Amino acid sequence: MLPALHEQRWHLPAPLALGALDAAPTTEPLPQPLLALLSRRGFTSPEAIAALLDPEEAPAAELHFPDLVKAVARLKRACSEGEAVAICGDYDADGMTSTALLVGVLQRLGARPIAAIPSRMDDGYGLNAAMVEKLAEQGVALLVTVDNGVSALKALERAEALGVEVILTDHHTIPDPLPPHLALLHPQRTPPGSPYRGLAGVGLAYVLAAALCQSLRHNDGQQIALNLFCIGTIADMAPLVGVNRRWLLDGLPQLAFSPLAGLQALQRLAGLEEAPLDAQAVGFQIAPRINAVGRLGDPQLVVELLTTEDPSRALELARDCEALNRQRRDLCSAIEAEALALLEADGPQRPAFLLLAQNHWHHGVIGIVAARLVERFGLPAALLAGEGNGRLRASVRAPRGFAVDEALQQCAHLLERFGGHPAAGGFTVRAEQVAALHEQLNQLAQTWLQQAGHGTPVEPEALLNFDQINRSFYRQLQRLEPFGIGHPQPVFWSRGCQVAAQKLLRGGHLQLELRQGDASLRAMGWRWQGETNLPALIDVAYRLRLDSWQGEERLQLELVGLRASSGNEVVLQHHKRTYWCRREGAGLVVRNAAGEELTSAEGDSHDHPYVRALMQDAALALGLVA
């Protein structure tokens, strides 16, 4: 979603210190804009850049997970004896892919795995005592949790009482006390600085499955485990650092040729048969089809889809996923339209914290709509849906800088249940407490806004001129992939772009033809919220995409921000003082309020740090440096 001009708050990157771009890999140097980008992300040495481009192999997992050997030994016995093993997952993409991963591997190794995932609507998150009792009645004596378990104290106390052994694999906060268990695989139990620290639930399931396959010398099982690790890690937006990055680099090239019939069917329905499955394709095409099932349907559908060996059955199940994904899109559009109408009805003055409630909204998708409101308005948002018995259940999303978990903690006295992390969370509240809750959340958001400022932040990381954007540059950009949490898709900016043509497409998407010098590029602003008559000269912030249409590929700008360009002169605020800066040829001139002027040549030779910093800021704002 591209916010209107007046809703955007631009923050250009800090100028780089002299010599900051001297670091480069020893093989095939990167272009200057990419080195500037990496330097701002903390990759300031050739060694750091080389480690990003080609991370080290994962160290021996048993040296980082103290209980791994014990867990593998117990699963080997289950495989050799054809034992029933319950895999207890969760209904999000991480939990469903984790469950499918272990079910698929254990099936191939001789065990009899049973997928056990609670219902989002009926059971809520995580393992419960009723599930344990039902599994025990079915003869299950071994239970493996994936993406949950450490907080299921009552359920696992019941398991202990029934003689059911439990292997816990989870990445959520470890409570005190821990529930009873045979073995625990958790990132917090690895040594400080371990490359395994960023694993999501599917990563822990992969560690367990890979160790088991290696112990039993079963390569096929390890291959499908790596396929599902890639899907789940990207879908769960796990940080792409440490072993996550190494294994994605190893696994993504194999995805298009996966032996999993379900993954092949998903690719076919998503129109990805001809293209390689990179992180972007997984994140925007495969993951939503899986996520839609957990939000609106039965998670067992995904587990069967990703474990069946029958191509016809896989295609049938993939079509069910497709139908649920269409339903999810329709629901999101309807709820978003209703939410925007409610905001409009309240008048032009929006609250600092957007809180909207309707009994009929669907719990499975209100988090998506809340995220869209955050993207549109740059404000924290909560959407509440009826839960019955006078209670409402909410999903909360927030811009960077507003900590959802801390805000909910401060409102704990008004809530029945709550949880989350800085960017997202959820809670249950009684209807009569909603007004008081909104008032307190508003106060917290207002305090945050006074420091952060209003509007959606636009934060480009490096300057690009259009004549630098070509296939060679795009290939170099691809060397930095995969992108995701902790290493996002780069946002570049270009200044002084002429709007040669503009068109508002169906769906509210803005299409521009932009020129800079002799170079022209197409730009797309998805779900444009602003005016249709743009200034003739604009600055644009964007992600660079390779667009394919009717067999033709071309580079395209995916806009995240635009503003009127100042041309060859900008007004600069530096340490609460105002300066007027203009370009003169390849250099610049800075004028202060007294009318005194300083040229870039004079500034470069000046020893005073204030003057040097001022000239750096001016050069950056005028697009003279990356």
What is the rounded CA–CA span in Å between residue 396 and residue 369? 10
Q: At what angle do helices 93-109 and 219-235 cross, to 10 degrees?
A: 180
The pLDDT value given to residue 457: 84
Report the pLDDT value the prediction gives residue 123, as an integer from 0 to 100: 56
SS3 string, 81-136, reads CCCEEEEECCCCHHHHHHHHHHHHHHHHHCCEEEEECCCCCCCCCCCCHHHHHHHH
Per-position DSSP letters for 420-437, written without gaps between them: E-SSEEEEEEEGGGHHHH
Look at residue 121 and tell me whether its pLDDT is greater than 70.
no
Cβ atoms of residues 128 and 118 within 8 Å: yes
> Over the stretch 30-54, which tens digit does the pLDDT of each residue have?
998 999 899 999 998 888 899 999 9
| pLDDT for the residue 99 | 96
> Which value, in Å, is the radius of gyration of the alpha carbons in the chain?
27
Contacts of 355 (CB under 8 A, 6+ apart): 381, 382, 384, 434, 437, 438, 441
Q: How much is the average pLDDT of 64-79?
A: 97
Which of 252-256, 482-486, 507-511, 550-554 has maximum average pLDDT? 252-256
Tell me the torsion sign for CA atoms 194, 200, 204, 210: negative
> What percent of the chain clears pLDDT 90, i.e. is strictly above it?
61
Look at residue 19 in the predicted model and tell me its pLDDT: 59
Cα-based distances in Å from 210 to 204, 213, 301, 303: 10, 5, 24, 19
pLDDT at 22: 64
The confidence band for 346, taking pLDDT boundaries of 50, 70 and 90, is confident
Q: What does the pLDDT read at residue 11? A: 83
The pLDDT of residue 336 is above 90 = yes
525 three-state secondary structure: strand
Q: If you average pLDDT over residues 5-31, what whole number do you get?
A: 71
Name the pLDDT band for 319 (thresholds 50, 70, 90).
Answer: very high
Please tell me the predicted confidence (pLDDT) of residue 618. 76
CA 505, CA 513: separation in Å to the nearest integer?
13
Which comes out higher in pLDDT, residue 28 or 565? 565
**Short-list 197, 267, 190, CA closest to 227:** 267
pLDDT tens digits for 166-191?
A: 999 998 888 888 899 999 999 999 99
What structural domains does the chain harbor?
5-41+461-564 (2.40.50.460), 61-255 (3.90.1640.30), 348-449 (3.10.310.30), 569-621 (no CATH)
* CB burial of residue 206 (10 Å; 0-12, 13-18, 19+): buried
Task: Report yes or no: 387 and 431 within 8 Å, Cβ to Cβ.
Answer: no
Per-residue pLDDT band for 330 (boundaries 50, 70, 90) equals very high
Compute the mean pLDDT over every residue in the chain, rounded to the nearest whole number.
89
> Can you tell me the distance from the alpha carbon of 385 to that of 197, in angstroms, rounded to the nearest whole number?
35
Check residue 586 and give its pLDDT: 67
Token pair 């508003």 in the structure block, residue: 442
For 382-407, write each residue's pLDDT tens digit: 999 999 999 999 999 999 899 999 99
How crowded is residue 161: how many other Cβ atoms within 10 Å of its Cβ? 13
- State mean pLDDT over 555-575: 81
